[in-house]
């Protein structure tokens, strides 16, 4: 099975540019940002509730706890909110998108209902198609997240835990390697 494409910085910028010109731009941008900067699966993003992301005072949490019912492995895990992801979440909260009570879906469709994983997956596919990026899917952001952590020197065990994987071999399959990265690695000798 062919893996989802890991986007370059230029391709990610192109995706964000396409999103900026769409209807529901703020919502679509934060969905993509949760994938790229949180490493979340599309089903996990679709399941998020307002209370998972915001505390009782409406501030973005330091970490988003994904309930076991949200995750593919049926095990709860924490998504740590980086400075970049925090700014994106705050930007979304301040946008014109309605934020309901703590039990409401964090992201809603144009019909004001929760996304299903399948519907959100289709939205990602449409965005990548409009950006002209072949091979990208709803899993591209997650692969980008894991690959960038690996190439930043983050411990494999930490990456595995952040990704919510049970086995290191699963995490290793996500990491993209190219000639430029291999050249940089041997230059460190």
Of 155, 146, 133, nearest to 176 (Cα)? 146
Model pTM score? 0.89
Give the model's pLDDT for residue 100: 79
Spatial CB neighbours of 86, under 8 Å, sequence gap ≥ 6: 60
Give the model's pLDDT for residue 160: 86
Residue 65 is encoded by which pair of tokens?
A: 């706890």
Q: Is 104 exposed, middle or buried (0-12, 13-18, 19+ CB in 10 A)?
A: middle
Q: Which domains does the chain have, with CATH numbers?
A: 9-134 (1.10.443.10), 141-187 (no CATH)
Q: What is the pLDDT along the chain (189 residues), one digit of tens a residue?
A: 578 898 999 999 999 999 999 999 999 999 999 999 999 999 999 999 999 999 999 999 999 999 888 988 888 899 999 999 999 999 999 987 777 789 999 999 989 899 999 999 999 999 999 999 999 999 999 999 988 888 888 888 888 888 887 888 777 777 777 777 777 778 878
């Amino acid at each position: 099975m062919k893996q989802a494409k890991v986007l370059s910085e230029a391709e990610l910028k192109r995706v964000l540019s396409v999103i900026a010109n769409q209807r529901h731009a703020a919502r679509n941008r934060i969905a993509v940002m949760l994938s790229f900067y949180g490493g979340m699966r599309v089903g996990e993003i679709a399941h998020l509730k307002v209370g998972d992301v915001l505390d009782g005072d409406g501030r973005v949490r330091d970490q988003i706890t994904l309930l076991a019912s949200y995750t593919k492995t049926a095990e709860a895990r924490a998504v740590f909110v980086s400075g970049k992801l925090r700014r994106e979440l705050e930007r979304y909260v301040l946008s014109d998108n309605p934020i309901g009570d703590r039990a409401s879906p964090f992201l809603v469709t144009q019909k004001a209902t929760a996304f299903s994983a399948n519907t959100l997956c289709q939205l990602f596919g449409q965005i990548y198609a409009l950006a002209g990026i072949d091979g990208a899917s709803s899993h591209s952001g997650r692969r980008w997240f894991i690959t960038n952590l690996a190439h930043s020197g983050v411990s494999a065990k930490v990456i595995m835990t952040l990704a919510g994987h049970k086995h290191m071999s699963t995490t290793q399959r996500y990491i993209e390697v190219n000639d430029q990265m291999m050249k940089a690695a041997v230059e460190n000798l």
